[in-house]
Amino acid sequence: MTPLSRRQLIGLVLLTLMWGLNWPVMKLALREISPLHFRGLTMGLGAMVLAGYFAAQGIRLWPKGLSEWRTVLVLGGPNILGWHALSIIGVAHLPAGRAAILGFTMPVWTVLLGTLLYREQLTARLLLAVVAVLCGIGLLLWNEWAQLAGQPVGIAWMQGAALCWAVGTIWMRRAQLTLPAEALVVWMMVLSAAVIMLLAWALEPSQHGNLSAAIWVSLVWSVLINYGAAQVVWFALARELPATTSAMSVMAVPLIGTLSAPLIVGEWPHWQDLAAMLCVVVAIGAVLLRRPKPGA
């Protein structure tokens, strides 16, 4: 494997930190803002930031014809709307680190659904991943039911989000894209944010602007870092990084989310969280890390 350049290494570290820290930052914001209002507002503003940046790079942003608009709608449903709407509700019901652990079971469900729906090869590594994920979920369910204030429904929300992401990933791989990927992401975010805001106005109480300084910081983070800088860095690295390196980054995100939660929102992990995190890391490694071919 070709060694990473200094720029790639810095980008990968920054991306992993941004994705990992975002989980407790979201949890902090939800202390004063309802989940769907938070998600719709930050996603919509983040899409505007991305659109401005990509337009300045000369990237075509406007879809051409019904086929490209259909692609935006079909892929945006599970990839953006399903994942982001369900995951933010899951974060509202669970500690941030626990939500991150459950959310990042998505690579395992992606491979499993590919096997079940598209007859992709079922391997011993996939079986190991499924068993590891089920053990991790079982540990977290056990801990949630054991606490009087537990929210086992949050686990269902997060697994629904992970399954949406998995379905979206499979569809994305099989799509014949003519619209630039950057434009696709911007429009998926714009339309999903509109739907989420409609749901927020219908289902959640109205929000007031009297927010604490920490919550304003979390809002700015979500717009400029999570939906802005992280996406830009990801697009810059996605075409360059080998799959193994990308997998290692994915595996580190729930670790950072869990370990940073005590510092940001005061949520200390239980032993079940750490054990479940280990299970999920093993599962992700089993499906994403490939053995090098002989002589490679």
Predicted local confidence at residue 148, as pLDDT: 42
Predicted local confidence at residue 3, as pLDDT: 65
What stretch of H or E contains 141?
A: helix 124-146
Cα angle: 230, vertex 70, 229; to 5 degrees: 10
Closest Cα partner for 108 from 121, 125, 96, 95? 125
Instruction: Supply the pTM of this predicted model.
Output: 0.86
Predicted local confidence at residue 233, as pLDDT: 87
Look-up of token digits 């200094």: 6
Cα end-to-end distance, the chain, whole Å: 8
Total residue length of the chain: 296
Q: Which long-range contacts (CB under 8 A, 24 or more apart) does 205-212 make?
A: 205/34, 207/33, 207/34, 207/37, 211/32, 211/33, 212/32
Closest Cα partner for 279 from 245, 247, 257, 254? 254
Predicted local confidence at residue 1, as pLDDT: 47
pLDDT tens for the chain, residues 1 to 296:
456 678 888 888 898 899 999 999 999 999 999 999 999 999 999 999 999 999 999 999 999 989 999 999 999 999 999 999 999 999 999 889 889 988 888 888 888 888 888 776 777 877 888 888 888 888 887 766 665 445 678 889 999 999 999 898 888 888 888 999 899 999 999 999 999 999 999 999 887 778 899 999 999 999 999 999 998 888 877 667 665 566 666 778 888 999 899 999 999 988 888 888 888 888 877 776 665 555 55
Predicted local confidence at residue 248, as pLDDT: 63
Predicted local confidence at residue 290, as pLDDT: 60
The type of residue at 250 is V
Give the Cα separation of 42 and 22 in Å (integer): 12
Give the Cα separation of 156 and 102 in Å (integer): 9
Q: Report the chain's C-alpha Rg in angstroms.
A: 19
> Any idea where the domains of the chain sit in the sequence?
6-204+213-288
Q: Is 46 exposed, middle or buried (0-12, 13-18, 19+ CB in 10 A)?
A: buried
Give the Cα separation of 125 and 48 in Å (integer): 41
